[in-house]
Amino acid sequence: MNSQAGKDCILVTGATGFIGSSLVNKLVPEHQVKAVVRKDLSMPNVDVVSEDLNPATNWSKYLGNVSSIIHLAARVHIMHDTAVDPLSEFRKVNVEGTLNLARQAAKAQVRRFIFLSSIKVNGEETRQNEPFKETDEPAPKDSYAISKWEAEEGLFRIADASGMEVVVIRPPLVYGPGVKANFLQMMKWLYRGIPLPLGAIDNKRSLVALDNLIDLIKVCIHHPAAANQVFLVSDGEDLSTTELLRRLARAMGRWPKLVPIPSKILKVGLGMFGKADIAKRICGSLQVDIRKARKVLGWQPPVSVDEGLEQTATWFLHSWGKG
């Protein structure tokens, strides 16, 4: 007997990524899932679709019984992009590829299209205690953020023309088991006891634990009030860079070696070495207001910051702690 019979079908792009792999696992018990991957592989209890996200992909053969799409696949932000025209490359995947999928989804009468965007659509930085809101005028700065904003605009145009419901979620930095890039590197430094000049940073930054983001995505699959809305998401507690490092180290069973160098000196020093962008991320504030999700959807982050950090630390210690 098919255990998936009678369940609504959800297509997830980017299904093998940091967010996608965990999301698919959380969806499988309640939904029939089609997982879009770039290379052939098998996933338990999941129909695997091997396709690239590009403007010419024919999705029609996969959409016949799909009720919702959760679109995570994207050309992601690249620190040292070597493309001659980065914006064109981002647009090819994040805008044209996304809208190609959405147009075919609307034609196939897919009910809802959930798009994972980025808080970078709002901008790069906030004044402390003046968080971004959904009603703010978008201010994307880099090619990645511009492409995400253009995709959002295109999706809502398709929604207006077709009746397919669109939901946009803009997360800040996402952390959790399997996290990569700068967050993983930071954990390695803390684990090894490397002194860091980050003991006097008084900024405020919003983060979102992987479980919290996935929970909001799951709410947005069926909640009637989510249709054609934009939502910001976070853990609901903002931390300074210094406090984040202290609490993360504590979760790892380590004592952080944080040297209290003032933010102004740190910014000047990093700027002299061409690292002004890094200084902005370390010292600047980026806060988001999640009151809309709470009010409109009745959503609350199910995982606290400390619980999210403990989950991440447990994964790290198991996967990397002996390395």
**CA diameter of the chain:** 66
pLDDT, mean of residues 134-149: 96
Q: What is the pLDDT, as a whole number, of residue 1?
A: 36
Judge whether 318 lies within some domain. Answer: no
Residue 22 and residue 178 in contact, taking contact as beta carbons nearer than 8 Å: yes
Q: What is the pLDDT, as a whole number, of residue 47?
A: 86
Asked about 144 being catalytic, the answer comes back as: yes
DSSP string, 15-58: TTSHHHHHHHHHHTTTSEEEEEESS----TT-EEEE---STT--
Strand, helix or coil at 183? Answer: helix
Judge whether 63 lies within some domain. Answer: yes
**Assigned token pair, 128:** 């402390």
Q: Which helix (H) or strand (E) holds 152?
A: helix 143-162
pLDDT digits (tens, 9 = 90+) for 200-244: 999 999 999 999 999 999 999 999 999 999 999 999 999 999 999
**CATH code: domain of residue 28:** 3.40.50.720
Judge whether 237 lies within some domain. Answer: no
Query: What's the mean per-residue pLDDT of the chain?
Result: 92
Judge whether 178 lies within some domain. Answer: no
Q: How open is the CA angle 143-37-28, to the nearest 5 degrees?
A: 115
Across 101-235, the runs of DSSP E, i.e. the strands, are 112-116, 165-170, 173-175, 207-209, 229-232
105-122 exposure pattern, b = at least 16 Cβ within 10 A, e = fewer: bbebebbbbbbbbbbbbb
Q: What is the pLDDT, as a whole number, of residue 5?
A: 54
The rounded radius of gyration (Å) of the Cα atoms in the chain is 20
d(CA 143, CA 57): 23
β-bridge mates for residue 49, sequence order: 36
d(CA 321, CA 323): 5
Residue 66 and residue 34 in contact, taking contact as beta carbons nearer than 8 Å: yes
| Nearest one of 33, 59, 53 to 44, comparing CA atoms | 33
Q: What is the pLDDT, as a whole number, of residue 41?
A: 67
pLDDT digits (tens, 9 = 90+) for 42-94: 677 788 888 888 999 999 999 989 999 999 999 986 645 566 688 999 999 99
**For residue 2, pLDDT beyond 50:** no
d(CA 90, CA 96): 9
Which of the two residues, 262 and 82, has the higher pLDDT score? 262
Q: What is the pLDDT, as a whole number, of residue 38?
A: 77
From 62, 144, 175, 191, active-site residue: 144
pLDDT above 90 as % of the chain: 78
pLDDT, mean of residues 250-275: 88
The number of folded domains in the chain is 1
**Assigned token pair, 41:** 């592989």
Q: What is the pLDDT, as a whole number, of residue 46?
A: 82
Judge whether 236 lies within some domain. Answer: no
Judge whether 199 lies within some domain. Answer: no
Judge whether 61 lies within some domain. Answer: yes
Query: Phi first, then psi: what are they for 196, rounded to 5°?
Result: -125, 135
d(CA 230, CA 90): 21
pLDDT digits (tens, 9 = 90+) for 157-173: 999 999 999 999 999 99
Q: What is the pLDDT, as a whole number, of residue 83?
A: 66
pLDDT digits (tens, 9 = 90+) for 97-133: 999 999 999 999 999 999 999 999 999 999 988 999 9
pLDDT-based confidence at residue 305 (cuts at 50, 70, 90): very high
Domain hosting 16: range is: 9-170
Least confident of 12-21, 111-120, 266-275: 266-275
Angle (deg, nearest 10), helices 181-192 and 305-319: 70
The β-bridge relationship of strands 112-116 and 66-71 is parallel
Judge whether 141 lies within some domain. Answer: yes
